[in-house]
Amino acid sequence: MLDFFNVYLPIAERDFNALILVAIGFSVGVLGGFFGVGGAWVVTPALNIFGFPMAYAIGTDLAHIFGKSIVATAKHRKMGNVDFKLGIWSIIGSVIGVEAGAQSVMLLTRLGLAGPVVRYTYMILLFGLGIYMIYDYATKEQRAAAAAAKAAARAAGTAPPRKAWNLPPMMHFPTSGITISFWTVMGVFFFTGYLSGFLGVGGGFIRMPALIYLIGCPTAIAVGTDLFSVLFAGAYGCLTYGIKGAVDIVAAIYMLVGASVGAQLGVTAVKYVRGYGIRLLFAIMIILAGLSVALKQFNYSVAAAWVVMCAALGMCVVIIIRLYIGFKKEQAEKLGLGH
């Protein structure tokens, strides 16, 4: 019955269901807009499940990520969530890091260790980051109380000020409201870029928590700024894979249609969810992604793809429900004020 939606992909030279492409694009668009990630880690296995030719999967995915990031970044900018200065530094640091990461993979490949080392690092990173973010969420009240007590002690002159890493030159980022050493900024983005190059991923899911925990950005600004960086990575990926002939432009357009609508909804949902809420949902998502990588490592490739796809769909539903509840609440408040 769904054959009705089949379209011919001129570059991949085969028919494929347009509805599936739009649906995958939509789900990843919602996640991308809400978490500030590209979402290649969801798209590639999802396309794989439905039999999309894998030779074109990565290029097609990157092409649609570029288009979607324009949509999401523009909307985040409207909401004051993009720190352009920080975003440009993140691109500079990441480019150097990505290349260094790729060098490490080449070295490991020569030693015959690349596959397992990369996968185990990926798993440790996803699980570690996810568990840390959940721990951070669970202990936020205690930490807030401890910070307030420390501040009070400092005000009373009984505690020394906190020692900060402040090697000059110092940089000020007014949008994020932070002043930080240039070396911290470059170090963090070099590190996230390195991991991105080492693992062969876009890196949005590494950069977003790094912006929060290592740079000190508010969560919504971390999401918007990360998307700004993803935009450039997507543009470069789109162009370079296009030159290699590995992009099916028609499939990418169908995915982009879904992703652009999804991204708008995902970004709007950020307005209704507090920073810690975004962090918690992100933590759950990357733990499930880690589970998917673990299944793949133990040769359960189909189960791995289903886990990541179901996790993405489930999270997408949660985000849309939060958006709906927030919107309804806002409408009710507006009506209440009107009367």
Partner 1 sequence: MKKIKALFFNLLFLALPALALAAGPGDKDVPDMATRMVRVEGLGAINYFFATWYNSNKFVFAILVTVVMGVVGALIALMTDVILKAIGMEVSKIEHHE
Q: Which one of residues 253, 284, 303, 318 is an interface residue with partner 1 (CB under 8 A)?
A: 253
Task: Assign 3-class secondary structure to 46-87.
Answer: HHHHCCCCHHHHHHHHHHHHHHHHHHHHHHHHHCCCCCHHHH
Q: Where are the alpha helices (DSSP H) in the chain?
A: 18-35, 40-49, 54-78, 84-110, 114-138, 140-155, 182-199, 204-210, 219-243, 249-270, 275-297, 301-338
Q: Is 18 in the site for partner 1 (CB under 8 A)?
A: no
Q: Is 327 in the site for partner 1 (CB under 8 A)?
A: yes
Contact set for partner 1, span 157-186 (CB under 8 A)? 167-169, 183, 186
- Binding segment toward partner 1, per CB under 8 A, in 16-24, 244-252, 290-298, 305-313: 244-252
Least distance to partner 1 from the beta carbon of 304, Å? 19
Q: How many residues interact with partner 1 (rule CB under 8 A)?
A: 74
Q: Which one of residues 131, 134, 235, 284 is an interface residue with partner 1 (CB under 8 A)?
A: 235
Contact set for partner 1, span 55-84 (CB under 8 A)? 55, 58-59, 63-64, 66-71, 74-75, 78-81
Identity of the amino acid at 253: I
Q: Is 316 in the site for partner 1 (CB under 8 A)?
A: no
Q: Which one of residues 148, 274, 317, 321 is an interface residue with partner 1 (CB under 8 A)?
A: 274
User: What is the x/- site pattern for partner 1, positions 203-232, by CB under 8 A?
Assistant: ---------------xxxx-----------
- Binding segment toward partner 1, per CB under 8 A, in 103-111, 150-158, 297-305, 312-320: 103-111
- How far apart are the C-alpha atoms of 176 and 165, rounded to whole Å? 18
Q: Are 37 and 205 in contact (CB under 8 A)?
A: yes
What sign has the CA pseudo-torsion 306, 309, 310, 311? positive
- Binding segment toward partner 1, per CB under 8 A, in 154-162, 252-260, 289-297, 308-316: 252-260
Q: Is 96 in the site for partner 1 (CB under 8 A)?
A: yes
Least distance to partner 1 from the beta carbon of 330, Å? 8
Coil, helix or strand at residue 171: strand
Contact set for partner 1, span 141-160 (CB under 8 A)? none
- How far apart are the C-alpha atoms of 190 and 197, rounded to whole Å? 10
Residue showing tokens 């975003």: 87
Q: Are 36 and 224 in contact (CB under 8 A)?
A: yes
Q: Is 276 in the site for partner 1 (CB under 8 A)?
A: yes
Q: Which one of residues 116, 132, 240, 333 is an interface residue with partner 1 (CB under 8 A)?
A: 240
Q: Which is nearer to partner 1, 151 or 159 (CB)?
A: 151
> In the beta sheet, which residues pair with residue 7?
16
Which whole-number Å values give the CA distances from 273 to 46, 137, 267, 322, 327, in the listed order? 27, 14, 11, 7, 11
Q: Are 269 and 326 in contact (CB under 8 A)?
A: yes
Least distance to partner 1 from the beta carbon of 70, Å? 4
Least distance to partner 1 from the beta carbon of 6, Å? 14
